[in-house]
Structure 1
Amino acid sequence: MANGSRQAAWEFFGAELKRRREEAGFTQVELGARVFVSGGYIGQFEQAIRKPQLDVAQRIDELLQSGGFFERAWRKLIDDKRYADYFAEVVELEGTATKICQFAPSVIPGLLQTASYARAVTIAANPFVTAEYVEEKVSARLERAHILKDATRPEYWAILHENVLGVPVAGQAAMAEQLDHIATLARERKVLVAVVPRSEGACAAMAAMLQLMEFDDAPPTLYTETSFSGDLLDDPAVVKRAQRAYDLLRGAALSPKASLALIESAAEDFRRCASTT
């Protein structure tokens, strides 16, 4: 589904929610209270500014007795084949987040990847797929990164383990380009990047890949991922533990200034190696 038609479908979702809510005699505040979100959040659903999570759509169905309409619509709209099933909702949430904090222990985060890096990672994980499949995945990943260029972009923190900087994914020249890209975003103050040095191994080892997201009018969420699956969680106790782990990682990391210098130094090393091979 193209972006334009997807947005139109979300607008229909919102209009239908408003119609059914009003028919049931609920204000936005009243409906929100019954499905455990704020009235402002309901208003943003109705204006297609934000997308509800699946459990909220299910509670709306139950309360408004809509026969599963909103759950079915949600599943249809979130079903983006460019992304793994467990990741499609994360992409939707990234578009409305006010703050995103990521920790990457082994691979550059998708929001920071260049086309060459994304292509190499995709092929490494899927060595027998078609070129069309690879380019679709790369295009989707680059499209996600557009949120960092918008005027309303979220506050974005990325903590990288130093090992991530040393692996020449896609080759020496491509890795230099990748690190230059991160350095440029940092210098333009579109992202804040910190590097956990190898000497802090114990601290970095206690956390897998994680992504924390905050919103204006919704609880924070946590996304964690392994090589084969991911989990999107909003349990307050779990999110709080993840936030504490992230704070500890941030405390173990180099300062943004020192991290930027390390990233630029690594890029220069790769560039020098590329020129001699």
Structure 2
Amino acid sequence: MTDAVPDEGQSGSEPETTDSLKAFGEVVKAFRKRARLTQETFAPRVGYSVPTVASIEQGRRFPSDDFVEQAEVVLDAFGVIRGTAKHLTRKPGLAKWFRQWAKLELKAVTLYTYENRLVPGLLQTPTYAKTLFEKQLPALGDDEIEAKLAARVERKKLLTDRPHTIYSFIIEEHVLRRQTGGPEVMREQIDHILDICARRNIDIQIMPQTRGHHAGLDGPMRLLETLENKWYAYCEGQENGQLISDTKVVSILQKRYARMRAQALSAEDSVSLLQEIRGAL
């Protein structure tokens, strides 16, 4: 994202299509024609607009899980549409530079995130995320916002789908005090973070504003460990991201993150501060 949305590799343009998306679109189109439906008659049956159906059939739009299921049922596709969807290779709404990291996240056994700009994507509520997308510059179209929001919601499933992964988040206090979207949006967002704090495999720490200096002042970072115990890092700017595999650089970032964990509030004190911030909204 560009800030308004600097997190999760969100660019202002729609990512390019892939062969798997084109193939999926052709399958949907073939079954639609087999059912003797036009795009105009098919779209309301699956609950999507005609332009959305057209984009999916042309391989320019990543289909949601709901679209896949509705198309399978409406077109009586013998499981072909569901089966084809399993082989789609492009994540919706993800910028090119973020996709390799997103793939690594899916199998990470350890995932660390430090953020000083906004609530990390894995912790965002849909309302908070939608606010960021709606305020992004250059402005996004409704379809782009929908695609990016779907990507964000899909990626958040990591926290529930991988209960044995160890997650650590360090967030700057000012991020939580900024009323992004207004008090109501932030109350919902902080309530969501408080709920996540209760999970045994997730640590959330707040870096207090009173901490005059800490080891993360060079900017946001992410670190992850794979099943093979290989560590990677990821850093992102306005319109680019860098996946880091150099062991020396990763080691430096690990040391900085470890120092930050000692410099931030404890998990228990972070919960107390979150409750205080929420009460002041």
Query: Please, what TM-score do these two structures have when normalized by structure 2?
Result: 0.66
State the Cα RMSD in Å: 2.3
Unaligned runs of 5+ in 2: 1-15, 22-86
- The residue that corresponds to 2:41 in the other structure is none
CA distance in 1, matches of 2:179, 2:136: 16
Q: Please report how far the alpha carbon of residue 205 of structure 1 lies from its aligned counterpart in structure 2 after TM superposition.
A: 5.5
Deviation sequence 1:196-253 (CA, Å, 0-9, x none): 1112132155231100000121510000111221100110000000001101111110
Query: Which stretches of structure 1, 4 residues or more, deviate above 3 A after TM superposition?
Result: 76-81
CA distance in 1, matches of 2:200, 2:131: 27
What letter is aligned with 1:261? S
Asked whether the 8 Å contact 1:105–1:204 carries over to 2, the reply is no
Unaligned runs of 5+ in 1: 7-75, 271-277
SS of equivalent to 1:211? strand
Residue 241 (str. 1) matches residue 241 (str. 2) = no
CA distance in 1, matches of 2:136, 2:252: 30
What letter is aligned with 1:225? E
Deviation sequence 1:14-58 (CA, Å, 0-9, x none): xxxxxxxxxxxxxxxxxxxxxxxxxxxxxxxxxxxxxxxxxxxxx
SS of equivalent to 1:199? coil
Residue 159 (str. 1) matches residue 170 (str. 2) = yes
Query: Please, what TM-score do these two structures have when normalized by structure 1?
Result: 0.67
Q: Please report how far the alpha carbon of residue 147 of structure 1 lies from its aligned counterpart in structure 2 after TM superposition.
A: 1.1
Asked whether the 8 Å contact 2:110–2:226 carries over to 1, the reply is yes
Q: How many residues align?
A: 199
Structure with greater helix share of residues: 1
Deviation sequence 1:53-104 (CA, Å, 0-9, x none): xxxxxxxxxxxxxxxxxxxxxxx97543520111011111111000100001
- The residue that corresponds to 2:54 in the other structure is none
Looking at both structures, which has the greater relative contact order when contacts are Cα pairs under 8 Å and sequence separation is at least 6? 2
CA distance in 2, matches of 1:203, 1:236: 23
CA distance in 2, matches of 1:218, 1:235: 14
Q: How is 1:114-125 mapped onto 2 (pairs within 5 angstroms)? A: 114-125=125-136
CA distance in 1, matches of 2:204, 2:233: 19
- The residue that corresponds to 1:101 in the other structure is 112
Residue 228 (str. 1) matches residue 239 (str. 2) = yes
CA distance in 1, matches of 2:148, 2:94: 8
